């Protein structure tokens, strides 16, 4: 007779964490080879290579704009961080000369 502390002998439930053969997860569709026409239909270009190229160029330009914006923002954050560090150093230096913990 098995011990009652053994998790494998717990009553099986589809939601049990001890159910080693849990079937509650959805079945994943396996990838398959698609035809050129299926791909073109999905992306709505219907075999028009010029339209597909224009769409790809538009997406590339959007990505370039987003990257440029991120570069500007990161440069701004870096500048603000340097200013903050400089301010902290100035405050530290001004407080080093004062004996703020002992009255004069």
Got the DSSP string for 60-80? HHHHHHHHHHHHHHHHHHHHH
Count of residues in the chain: 104
| Comparison of pLDDT for 10 and 25, the residue scoring more | 25
| Residue 90 tokens, joined | 């100035």
* Residue 83 dihedral angles phi and psi, to the nearest 5°: -60, -40
Q: What is the mean pLDDT of residues 57-69?
A: 96
Cβ atoms of residues 31 and 25 within 8 Å:
no
Residue showing tokens 């004996």: 99
Q: What is the pLDDT of residues 72-86, one digit of tens each?
A: 999 999 999 999 999
Q: What is the mean pLDDT of residues 12-33?
A: 64
pLDDT-derived band of residue 51, with 50, 70 and 90 as boundaries? confident
């Amino acid at each position: 007779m098995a011990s009652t502390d053994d998790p494998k002998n717990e009553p099986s439930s589809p939601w049990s964490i001890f159910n080693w053969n849990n079937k509650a997860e959805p079945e994943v569709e396996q990838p398959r080879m698609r035809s050129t026409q299926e791909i073109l239909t999905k992306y709505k270009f219907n075999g028009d290579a010029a339209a597909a190229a224009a769409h790809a160029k538009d997406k590339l330009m959007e990505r370039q704009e987003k990257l440029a914006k991120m570069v500007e923002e990161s440069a701004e954050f870096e500048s603000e961080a340097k200013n903050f560090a400089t301010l902290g150093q100035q405050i530290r230096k001004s407080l080093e000369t004062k004996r703020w913990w002992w009255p004069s």
